[in-house]
Amino acid sequence: MSDHQGQTLTPRELVRAHAYPVLAAISTTALVVIAACLIPIARHAQHMNQCVARDLPSWCIDVR
């Protein structure tokens, strides 16, 4: 931090100085992992939707 140049930080100040960047990095990583885990579920749902749409009888499709 610019206000601590040349000073030794106490453990409490060290935690306070680095808590926000560490938590931001953890939350960003968590969001990326969650998004990556949702990709196979989205692909499966898309495949199932295509199967249902392909197998529907013609009288079931609403054409406007």
CB of 1 closer than 8 Å to CB of 13: no
Identify the three-state secondary structure at position 10: coil
pLDDT of residue 39: 97
Task: Identify the CA nearest to 19 among candidates 8, 5, 9, 6.
Answer: 9
Query: Whole-angstrom Cα distance, residue 61 to residue 58?
Result: 6
Residue 35 phi, psi (nearest 5): -60, -40
Q: Is the pTM value of this prediction over 0.95?
A: no
Segments in the chain forming alpha helices (H): 11-55
Domain coordinates in residue numbering, the chain = 10-54
Per-residue pLDDT tens digits of the chain, which is 64 residues long: 566 677 898 999 999 999 999 999 999 999 999 999 999 999 999 988 888 877 776 666 665 5
